[in-house]
Structure 1
């Protein structure tokens, strides 16, 4: 009883920001809030079996900036802990792990962004900006095509007759490579904040399995996570799968077409039985269904489970993926028709808008979360800090 009362007093002090453990002065307000909540959770431990965040938390007694960034990116925002927590709002402790973690994740993307001056773009990357970029790039393409007199009508050679293959490579290649470089440098900075040792084959295999299956969107019990209320659902996990694998299939379609073009000399357009078309159609349909489902779930999501300030960024990324898939399928259907030039311009506008915002939008969450899951797979195979301290 005395221990329980002591823990309650400590939790009350933490709720008032009077922690004796966390160096509040070295953390941002968002990071301090996560540190406060983690101290309360570490005393309670009711949610220890829900996901990787809580067992990783119990291996620590202090939470510095690197720990908070790591645990925030380990969180999948499934909401199970919020609905199970006895200290959640309206309790005076106001423990809200999903929202607090979401705010810190945005901080990590901003802090680790490269170039650093562009980190602020995360906070401006909303639905309006995404649609404006699509419109702006599409209009630019339309003006270029219109100048050649090919805005409407059949063009010999298909869309390569409108924009040559080498021109498209020269336009999109550097943008895509820059996006990958920027994301790679950002994740490297995140990784180096808290070294966990070398990765074994078992750790790599486990983390890859957890990433590809979205293991921690099952709520820790296999029944799914929460979205709008206390009911468990697999909807978020399934729509995430459709979105992720749809995107990867679309990428595979582009990669395969590139190999066909340069390695075998087989130039587009391709028949519906060829791999680029099979990958593209399957991926496009999957991506549209997945993003449409995620958009509806985002609209219905319980307000306590998300950071309201990040709704525009979330919805902007979903919209870009949806429009890219939709315009890509429309381009396939427009082949050989008068609408091909117009449809191609819209699709290229969507693609370049997606590439341009890739390093500074919601796409980063998948990259950072994968790195955090690998860290967890490595860490859980090592002695905890508490054990090392006892030794």
Structure 2
């Protein structure tokens, strides 16, 4: 019996040291020195005009909805195969998620379906880079320009991925990262909003600080601060930022180690794909992935469920992923599907995610060996 969890958080060894430094400084609320370091790192890594840490990836998405001026009845085109936060951020403002199908190769939204979903009420396109594999952003940005729409990247899974040489998070008008403990770079909880439109940077600072111009006040740009706009408490503590800074210092090494594991899975499962027993993930040549998720697509839901059960029986935790939003109770209440959801419905029933965490090491071979034996491809170890 094995004990291989689906995820195990990785620490670099400097997190506690930096948290202690924050405590010694006596600055534990937000926007301290560690917050500044993290934000500058994100700006340099993505090319974003401004990065602001937030309490979560969800809160970063909620900020993008306010900045995009989403109001009652406004429509936001997005994939159905994504997490609830992607839609909730806009529903909270009265917006209507308009779901479109995904591509069968990357599991990302099908950019060819976006323009047909545009109506006079459309205000934004929300893309989600599934498993850290970027969407095909060039045609998406072109559609947005033709229809004067805001493009928001749900880049929760995409830190240090890139599309045609451009970092994820630095392509759309705004983007959101997550540092939840299941992501590559973590802070337990936490996130960041990235602003690529200089015209809304100041408003983003105000929204993040409970609708006040407090950030400008601390820079000496006004002699007092007051309530000037919508906002909420989106600012994380300096303790979260201190933990995150230790992670960002090691981000390139962490990403390289995850990609090495991803590639080992990919090599081990080549016989499965050759035998038609499963399909491996596809990474387009014009993208660079960060190795966030390794998944297999089984021939049927029954085979997927049987594989998960068989792995769990020997102590290996494998899981499926999203229930498509268009078929979820809240999705049918708050949103609508535009066109058939053929690939979303089919692939979501057949996808299984395998354990992938930085310190998995040689235990990956135990996972791969069991998968190969269960699916009838032998053990190619």
TM-score (norm. length: structure 2):
0.22
Instruction: Flag the structure with higher strand content.
Output: 2
Instruction: Flag the structure with higher helix content.
Output: 1
Computing the radius of gyration over CA atoms, which structure comes out larger, 1 or 2? 1
- The answer to which structure, 1 or 2, has the higher relative contact order (CA under 8 A, 6+ apart) is 1
